[in-house]
Amino acid sequence: MSVPRPSRLALALVPVLAAATLWTHGQVHERRARFPRDQDVLYLPPSAQLVPMSLGYREALADLIWIRAVIFTGDKAGGANYAWIMQYLEAIYTLAPGFRRPYAWGGVVVVYSGEAIDRAMIDRAIELYRRGIELFPEDHELLFALGMLLTRDVQSLPDYAAAEREAAMLEGAMLIRRAAAFGAPPLVRQLAATLVSDDATDQLAIQFLENQLLQAEDEGHRRLLERKLETLIGEAGIES
C-alpha cells in the first residue's frame, strides 16, 4: 500500500504557517510584557462567563472571589485600584446576588481607601448601596450607610451642585429614618430623631418620635425623644 505524498501546496504552506506561529508568539509575549505586575493573578473573566464556568457552584465561586477581593484591597496595590475592586464586586453580584455583605463592604471600600475622596468615589458607593437596598429594602445597615453618604459626604464635596446637595440631604434623612424604623442601634435612632425635627413637617416628626418613644428601652434615649417631642407638642402632649 503506497503512502500518499504531500502536495506541493502543503509543503509550501509549512514555512508560512511556521512564520505566522512565530509572529503570533512574539505578539503574545510583547502584550504580556506590558501587563502590570501580577495582573494574570488578579484577572477575572467577564461576569457573564463566570456563571457557566462555576459548573453550578455559583455561591462557592462567589465566596472564593470575595476572599480574593478582601485580600487584594488589604494589599498596597489594591488600595486605589478601583477597576479591579469593581470587577470583583460585579463578579460576586452576578454569581450570588443574594450575598449581602459585599454590598455593604463595597460601599465603604470604594470611598475610604486612604485616597482623597472625589465625586467618582461617592457616586460608585451610592450605586452599590442602592443595588443592595433593592434586594434588602429593610436592611438598616445599608439604609444608614447610604443615608450618611448622602447627608455627610455629598454635602462636603464642592463637585455637587447646590440642588444636588439639597436633594441628597432630603433623601439621606429619609433613609436614616427608615434605618431607625427597621431596628438600627440607639445612636442611629437618635440621629434619625434629630434629622426628623430639622427637616420634616411637624406632623411627621410627631408621629415618628412617638413611635420611637414607644420602642425606646434606653432611658437616655427616651429623655432625648421626650425633649424633642416637647418642643413640638408641649409638656401636656408628652404627658398624654
Q: Look up residue 78 and give its DSSP letter.
A: G
pLDDT, residue 231, reads 74
Neighbour tally for 86: CB within 10 Å: 15
pLDDT, residue 171, reads 92
Give me the residues of the chain with pLDDT under 70, please. Answer: 1-14, 16, 25-43, 74-82, 112-114, 196-205, 207-208, 215-218, 220-221, 233-240
pLDDT, residue 113, reads 62
In the block, cell 411627621 appears at 204
pLDDT, residue 205, reads 67
pLDDT, residue 167, reads 93
Closest CA to 141 of 179, 103, 89, 96: 179
Question: 147 and 176 in contact (C-beta within 8 Å)?
Answer: yes
Alpha helices in 75-201 (DSSP H): 82-95, 101-109, 119-135, 140-148, 154-156, 162-181, 186-199
Q: What is the pTM of this model?
A: 0.66
Closest CA to 193 of 179, 211, 209: 209
pLDDT, residue 3, reads 47
pLDDT, residue 142, reads 92
pLDDT, residue 180, reads 84
pLDDT, residue 126, reads 93
Q: Cell digits for 124?
A: 460608585
